[in-house]
């Protein structure tokens, strides 16, 4: 499992976006891999080490037809 270091005033969502390029399904997986991380509050402390689980597959998207 890789480790990422939080930047100053970075949220977990921002860290996930920086590392994985998306947040859907990722933020939850990172929280599961880091028990107690949510108790730190919405903004991570600079230098916080965050364990990074393998990137889960992107959720399947269903196209939406706006007209016929």
| Cα Rg, the chain, nearest whole Å | 15
CB-count exposure of residue 62 (10 Å: 0-12, 13-18, 19+): exposed
Domain residue ranges in the chain? 2-52
H-helix segments, the chain: 12-20, 26-33
Cα 30 from Cα 17, distance rounded (Å): 12
Q: What pLDDT, in 10s, does the model give residues 14-68?
A: 999 999 999 988 999 999 999 999 999 999 999 999 999 997 777 777 888 998 7
Q: Is the pTM higher than 0.75?
A: yes
């Amino acid at each position: 499992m890789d480790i990422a270091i939080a930047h100053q005033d970075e949220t977990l969502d921002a860290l996930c976006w920086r590392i994985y390029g998306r947040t859907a399904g990722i933020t939850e997986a990172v929280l599961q891999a880091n028990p107690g991380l949510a108790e730190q509050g919405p903004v991570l402390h600079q230098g916080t080490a965050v364990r990074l689980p393998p990137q889960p597959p992107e959720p399947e998207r269903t196209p939406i037809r706006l007209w016929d």
